Amino acid sequence: MLRTIKPKNARSKRALEAREPKEVEDPRIAIFVKGTHTGEVVKGAMKDLMALKRPNAISFSKKNDIHPFDAPTSTSGSSSNQSLEFWCAKNDATLFAVGQSTKKRPNGLSFVRMYDGKVLDMIEVGIEKYVSIADIKSAKCTPEYKPLMHFGSELFDTHPRFIQLKSMLMSFFNGEEIDSICLTGLEYVISVTCAPTPATLNTASSSTESTALPKVHIRTYTTKLLSSGTRIPRVELVNMGPSLDIVLRRHTTPDPEMLKQAMKRPKLKKTDVEKGLGKKKKNMEVDEMGDLRGRVHVGKQDLGKLQTRKMKGLKGGNFEAEDAEEDGEEEEEQGGVRKKRKTSS
């Protein structure tokens, strides 16, 4: 059970309220942690991923003896998950990227997702091919901009391992919640595609060996708006980097109860309009846009007695005869000009 902290002053109270769950969450902070042994490939990949995540990224420059998927050692007496939970509470971060390269699993990169200060799920990938941002000579995107995510395979909607990877990447690159965005605000696109799927791959089972899973290609492009002769410009994608070819390795699935709590949506608070109403009135409600709407009930109306404008579209029979009887007027043509004169009844 977590310890309840009582604020001692107004500043600490505001700090605790800022960390409480919100209807619209703040951008998630990611911490990049280097393991005891990291190669140049892992260092470069973490550096480029952190450049895309800025300013919501924290880098730990020192090496740390942390192994998220391994059991706690007898000498230390503490697990790596406890270290992650401590860093999560210390920095108010919910995402981790841990780089570790060993002889058995070279160029490994682990993504860890937290919920309520506890580890929710983890996924480890192996980097097989890497091209950095500096190696590609092209225009770069502006920091703090949200990317457009593209997943180009049906496995991201059918296979459990790829569904978890898609959810992890979307949580990792998701930024501030916004209502709308202009076309020029989409500066870069992150495309995630899969290699040709093996025929023996069973999309309905999560026990498939990692060696049988296809590779995943992650590419980053900047958008270039060109003239198209219409109001909508023609969009071209220019390779920006980084480019990663990864394979799926170890993973841990989230606890069902914790996942249920993490996916639960909070009840929306009453709007200011509802508060102004005080006690809820009959036939009055507030729609999703916050506008007050009322419902009016009237008795049955006899449209036969409704007075309308006297026009030919609302009459029947001989229109000219009815006009002459009702108005007492008739038209005559003299010299090509129509004139009206009063007639005696």
Confidence grade of residue 219 (pLDDT, cut at 50, 70, 90): very high
pLDDT of residue 76: 45
Longest CA–CA span in the chain (Å) reads: 121
Evaluate if residue 162 carries a pLDDT over 90: yes
Residue 210 has a pLDDT of: 58
Full-model pTM: 0.70
The better pLDDT of the pair 252, 312 is held by 252
> Between 199 and 6, where is the model more confident?
6
CATH fold of 25-198+213-254, please?
Rossmann fold (3.40.50)
pLDDT for residue 339: 53
Tell me what the mean pLDDT of segment 104-110 comes to.
91
Give residue-wise pLDDT tens across range 52-96. Answer: 998 889 999 888 888 888 766 544 445 788 888 888 888 888 899
Integer Cα distance of 90 and 296 in angstroms: 56
Structure-model confidence comparison of residues 340 and 132, the more confident one:
132
Task: State residue 282 phi and psi, 5-degree precision.
Answer: -70, 140
**Per the omega criterion (within 30 degrees of 0), is the bond before 242 cis?**
yes
User: What integer pLDDT is reported at residue 243 of this predicted model?
Assistant: 92
Q: How many residues are listed for the chain in this entry?
A: 345
pLDDT at 192: 93
Question: What gap in Å lies between CA 252 and CA 122, rounded to an integer?
Answer: 5
pLDDT in tens, 176-211: 777 777 777 788 999 999 988 766 665 544 444 555
Q: Is the pLDDT of residue 320 over 60?
A: no
What is the model's pLDDT at position 61?
A: 84
d(CA 197, CA 162): 12
Question: Per-residue pLDDT for 171 more than 50?
Answer: yes
Question: What are the beta bridge partners of residue 129?
Answer: 245
> Of 324 and 290, which is predicted with more confidence?
290
Q: Which two tokens stand for residue 345?
A: 């009844």
Does residue 307 surpass a pLDDT of 80?
no
| Least-confidence region, from 87-91, 138-142, 239-243, 266-270 | 266-270
HSE-up (13 A, CA, CB side) for residue 18: 11
Domain boundaries, the chain: 25-198+213-254
Which amino acid is present at 71?
Answer: A
